[in-house]
Each structure stands twice: as C-alpha cells, then as structure tokens.
Amino acid sequence: MISLRRLNNQAIMVNADLIESLEATPDTVVTLTSGNKLLVRDSMEEIQAKIVDFKRRIYGPKEV
C-alpha cells in the first residue's frame, strides 16, 4: 500500500497493485482497476516513485 493525499490534504492508503493509470489534469487522477477514480495532490512522478519504492521493499533482495 502507498500513502497519497486527497485534495483536502486527507491521507489515503491505496493498493499500488490496483492502480491502472495516472493522469495529470492539472490535479492527478488515479484510476483503479475497479474503475474508481481518486483526485490527489501527489504528482504523477511522486506516485511513480512511491510505487517503485513499495515494489522494491516487497520484491527486492531479502537479507539472510
């Protein structure tokens, strides 16, 4: 899960695996695989970085 901010600055946790697309209009619209859309303050680049970081933590090399 990644943390995003709604337009009213309220935090929301989103399952990164359910994000279908991102669109800047100028607010960022996050479209989920369910068809639901979220308007958030985070830029597309910030969301992309959060997704990459999340995936690295989940699937990255494991310490022995």
50 in Cβ contact with 16 (< 8 Å): yes
- What backbone phi and psi angles, to 5 degrees, belong to 22? -125, 145
Nearest 5°: the CA angle 34, 35, 40 is 105
Per the DSSP assignment, residues forming a β-bridge with 19 are 32
Residue type, position 58, single letter: I
The pLDDT, as a whole number, for residue 64 is 64
Provide the residue-wise pLDDT of the chain in tens; the chain has 64 residues.
999 999 999 999 999 999 999 999 989 999 999 999 999 999 999 999 999 999 999 998 776 6
Q: Are strands 19-24 and 2-5 parallel, antiparallel or unpaired?
A: unpaired
The model scores a pTM over 0.75: yes
Cα gap 1→16, rounded to integer Å:
6
